[in-house]
Chain A
């Protein structure tokens, strides 16, 4: 009952977002945040310049493979495994959203 109510509330919001910003919807690429559990993607570029500096130092380099290996129990932060060398980074979902993936 309650969930049903929430759906009604959010549906118009979601529609509004999509219709009001079509440009974003078209060019939206997947980010590390959108990976499914266990899925691997390849880093294409880093969106946020300031965050990029930190991510680069930690090994999030364009061309490197990234795998979502886990989520914290509350859904955030995420556990990302980088490259072949298998080391694990912990990043917040908001930070993972700046890591763009190749299609």
Chain B
């Protein structure tokens, strides 16, 4: 048990306690909470999970004074303590259980000075729970511009907590906040709202049964017992019986509380806030909205932003990607020139090849998440939601599905987690189910390699690049399949509750580059550490599988081949002398030996095994291997293909592109015909080939049926589509 009272007994004790202060950061969405969190913690952040649920739990360490540190928990944005979505439930789980390990010592409430009335609703609820609090009065600069004058000493008296005026974006007031945070804070003395007399019998019974420290917390138990994670089934039944006994009407009670609180807040604001608006001009945001949500212009602007996004991912990212590619192959060549042996081959063909496959992604991931972060930061993302809602609804999706779907272009894993903001169960399930159909960045390498192989690098209609058109078509194919599948699901699924679309429009503002930078850093780091590990491991495993075979099979195949080649071969000076005189013959034999070894390796055996099933799609056993390994992560396809084709081949063979073009079928024709390549491309658009996505779907839906349905549906779709494409093109 770590009750706050035991921990920090006066400031002196606080600086010498075993564990640092634990402070929760809470506030309305768009109240500058994230900015403040970044200001307080800088790069000392880590992203974890809340127990039981999978909302990102961002924690960080803030250096309050020279000797004192505090652990800061960043809670999701919320308007009240009555959760409407899973995101917000995390907050109540944390604040209801005073005995819990991570119960905060106090909370920092971020409040938008321009929206005091609404922001104070949450604050008064927290105050009535008896949580020690500091009020970070944010966006003071904007409030001053709007002519809002706040009598801070009076407001402090009314609210009973320290108030720090600040501008979190610019870091103004952070130092003052740290000083206050370093002090020991008491339970605020002011009560803003008390449950009605009629409620008291119920409230008191719950309060004494659970030994709670105040009435208001007991009322929350009565309201939300079904969702409180730490209550046992018996305890829930007990509360349910009590609420039935006293005919507790949760909705009416909650409405009465909210109205009661607003009445009290109005009284407080009358005393403390005066608005002297000199001129009544239309806010800039509204004028920007007139353009950005215009009936024609709005969509055009959104489309051009998307186009810019694709341009960035495919064109701009190409330069750093080429550098990484050349750097890795250069390094690999240098190592192979100077050292020899099986370990060196493992290093260059296994580890380095896999590492290259990870690093090459970084430019695209950074650009995509940078873009998304800027759109989010400026407030434009909310307008996208607004623009798209009506369009998405026929498909059973809501405007809020647009952000997960667009994020799905980067990676389905965070995108599916992003669907948590959708309150309606049905909308959310549909969004989760179809998001993996959006072409994620892991498919980019597959697309790029195959498109470059069969589509000429020429201009079409003057402006467009043919390869660009092909890529765009693949993305559109993914998008339309996602929408179509959503429509089907909408017909199949039954709604559990109504869907909401009430959302606040954040005011337009310049992005905070520090926040954008942090987002990029965190996403890239997560990718390199999580996906990267799998990719390198698979790459090494593949190298082993492709280099060694069962028993003496490889050796037998090779000696048989050599024997066949050397039949009737009788040269003076022996075999070695002959090879020296006929280098072409030697090179040809070497390739055949390598090919025979690979075909008889473990990987080859595996590929042969599934070849009958994939032959109708135009694939051979080599692609079969790649399809299977892709299940770890799609981008492994490229690693696999390059490992498969590089094993045993000349090291200076060059890039993967050339290797694939050089591949010949049994008749000596190029293996990667347009039919094969397009069949593969379509397969990769649809197929569910990602363990991480299935795992996250399972965690988010809490049911094995959803990931299973995703796997069967998407892979079936992929097989059917690839079959049709291949048969149509040959």
B and A form one assembly: yes
Q: Mark the stretch among B500-508, B531-539, B574-582 that contacts chain A.
A: B500-508
Contact of A73 among B296, B385, B500, B501 (CB under 8 A): B296
| Contact of A22 with B by CB under 8 A | no
| Contact of A100 with B by CB under 8 A | no
B259 touches A83 (CB 8 A): no
B293 touches A49 (CB 8 A): no
Q: Which residue of A lies closest to B386 (CB)?
A: A90
| Contact of A40 with B by CB under 8 A | no
| Contact of B115 with A by CB under 8 A | yes
Q: Mark A1-36, 1 if CB is under 8 A from B, else 0.
A: 000000000000000000000000000000000000
Interface size class of A (residues with CB under 8 A): 20 to 34
Chain A residues whose CB sits within 8 angstroms of the CB of B500 once the complex forms:
51, 54, 95
**Taking chain A's interface residues, is the majority helix, strand, or loop, or is none over half, making it mixed?**
mixed
State in angstroms the CA–CA spacing of A54 and B504 once bound together: 12
A84 touches B275 (CB 8 A): yes
A58 touches B386 (CB 8 A): no
| Contact of B290 with A by CB under 8 A | yes
B84 touches A90 (CB 8 A): no
Q: Mark the stretch among B151-159, B185-193, B249-257, B606-614 that contacts chain A.
A: B249-257
Chain A residues whose CB sits within 8 angstroms of the CB of B283 once the complex forms:
86
Chain B residues whose CB sits within 8 angstroms of the CB of A95 once the complex forms:
500-502
User: A90 → chain B, closest Cβ, in Å?
Assistant: 5
Contact of A70 among B117, B290, B399 (CB under 8 A): B290
Q: Which residue of A lies closest to B501 (CB)?
A: A92
B258 touches A58 (CB 8 A): no
Chain A residues whose CB sits within 8 angstroms of the CB of B295 once the complex forms:
73-74
B289 touches A79 (CB 8 A): yes
User: A54 → chain B, closest Cβ, in Å?
Assistant: 5
| Contact of B631 with A by CB under 8 A | no
A73 touches B298 (CB 8 A): yes
B503 touches A90 (CB 8 A): yes
User: A97 → chain B, closest Cβ, in Å?
Assistant: 13
Chain B residues whose CB sits within 8 angstroms of the CB of A90 once the complex forms:
382, 385-386, 501-505
- CB under 8 Å from chain B, chain A span 29-57: 49-57
In the complex with contacts A73-B295, A79-B386, A88-B504 CB distance below 8 A: yes
B252 touches A73 (CB 8 A): no
B389 touches A77 (CB 8 A): yes
- CB under 8 Å from chain A, chain B span 111-157: 114-118, 121, 146
A75 touches B390 (CB 8 A): yes
A58 touches B251 (CB 8 A): no
Q: Which residue of B lies closest to A83 (CB)?
A: B117
Quick one: which of A50, A52, A73, A81 has the most chain B CB within 10 A? A73
Chain A residues whose CB sits within 8 angstroms of the CB of B79 once the complex forms:
57-58
Chain B residues whose CB sits within 8 angstroms of the CB of A54 once the complex forms:
84, 500, 502
| Contact of A66 with B by CB under 8 A | no
| Contact of B487 with A by CB under 8 A | no
B505 touches A74 (CB 8 A): no
State in angstroms the CA–CA spacing of A81 and B115 once bound together: 12
- CB under 8 Å from chain A, chain B span 265-313: 275, 283, 285-286, 289-290, 293-296, 298-299
A85 touches B117 (CB 8 A): yes
Chain A residues whose CB sits within 8 angstroms of the CB of B254 once the complex forms:
53
A85 touches B114 (CB 8 A): yes
B386 touches A72 (CB 8 A): yes
Chain A residues whose CB sits within 8 angstroms of the CB of B296 once the complex forms:
73
User: B145 → chain A, closest Cβ, in Å?
Assistant: 12
| Contact of B391 with A by CB under 8 A | yes
Chain B residues whose CB sits within 8 angstroms of the CB of A74 once the complex forms:
295, 390-391
State in angstroms the CA–CA spacing of A69 and B79 once bound together: 23
In the complex with contacts A61-B262, A73-B294, A89-B115 CB distance below 8 A: no
State in angstroms the CA–CA spacing of A85 and B456 once bound together: 57
B382 touches A77 (CB 8 A): no
Q: Which residue of A lies closest to B297 (CB)?
A: A73
State in angstroms the CA–CA spacing of A76 and B390 once bound together: 6
Q: Mark B536-557, 1 if CB is under 8 A from A, else 0.
A: 0000000000000000000000
State in angstroms the CA–CA spacing of A77 and B541 once bound together: 52
| Contact of B80 with A by CB under 8 A | yes
User: A88 → chain B, closest Cβ, in Å?
Assistant: 4
| Contact of B96 with A by CB under 8 A | no
Chain B residues whose CB sits within 8 angstroms of the CB of A83 once the complex forms:
117
State in angstroms the CA–CA spacing of A100 and B651 once bound together: 75
| Contact of B82 with A by CB under 8 A | yes
Chain B residues whose CB sits within 8 angstroms of the CB of A81 once the complex forms:
286
B258 touches A77 (CB 8 A): no
- CB under 8 Å from chain A, chain B span 462-497: none
In the complex with contacts A72-B293, A87-B115, A92-B389, A53-B251 CB distance below 8 A: yes
In the complex with contacts A49-B255, A53-B255, A77-B390, A70-B293 CB distance below 8 A: yes
State in angstroms the CA–CA spacing of A53 and B286 once bound together: 27
User: A81 → chain B, closest Cβ, in Å?
Assistant: 8
Q: Which residue of B lies closest to A52 (CB)?
A: B255
State in angstroms the CA–CA spacing of A60 and B294 once bound together: 25
Chain A residues whose CB sits within 8 angstroms of the CB of B82 once the complex forms:
53, 57
State in angstroms the CA–CA spacing of A54 and B404 once bound together: 23
In the complex with contacts A79-B293, A88-B504, A69-B255 CB distance below 8 A: no
State in angstroms the CA–CA spacing of A81 and B146 once bound together: 16
State in angstroms the CA–CA spacing of A5 and B315 once bound together: 52
| Contact of B387 with A by CB under 8 A | yes
B252 touches A49 (CB 8 A): yes
In the complex with contacts A57-B258, A88-B286, A73-B505 CB distance below 8 A: no
State in angstroms the CA–CA spacing of A52 and B500 once bound together: 11
Chain B residues whose CB sits within 8 angstroms of the CB of A91 once the complex forms:
501-503
Q: Report which A residues bind B (CB closer than 8 A).
A: 49-59, 61-62, 69-70, 72-77, 79, 81, 83-92, 95
25 A-B residue pairs with Cβ-Cβ distance under 8 Å, sorted by A, are: A50-B251, A54-B500, A54-B502, A55-B502, A56-B255, A57-B80, A58-B502, A69-B289, A72-B386, A72-B387, A73-B294, A73-B298, A74-B391, A75-B390, A77-B399, A81-B286, A85-B116, A87-B507, A88-B286, A88-B505, A89-B504, A90-B501, A90-B503, A90-B504, A91-B501
Known A-B contacts: A61-B262, A87-B118. Give 8 more (CB < 8 A). A50-B251, A59-B115, A62-B259, A70-B289, A73-B298, A75-B390, A88-B504, A89-B502
Ordered nearest first, which 6 A-B pairs have the shortest CB separation?
A: A73-B295, A74-B390, A88-B505, A59-B118, A57-B79, A56-B258
Q: Report which B residues bind A (CB closer than 8 A).
A: 79-80, 82, 84, 114-118, 121, 146, 251-252, 254-255, 258-259, 262, 275, 283, 285-286, 289-290, 293-296, 298-299, 382, 385-387, 389-391, 399, 498, 500-505, 507
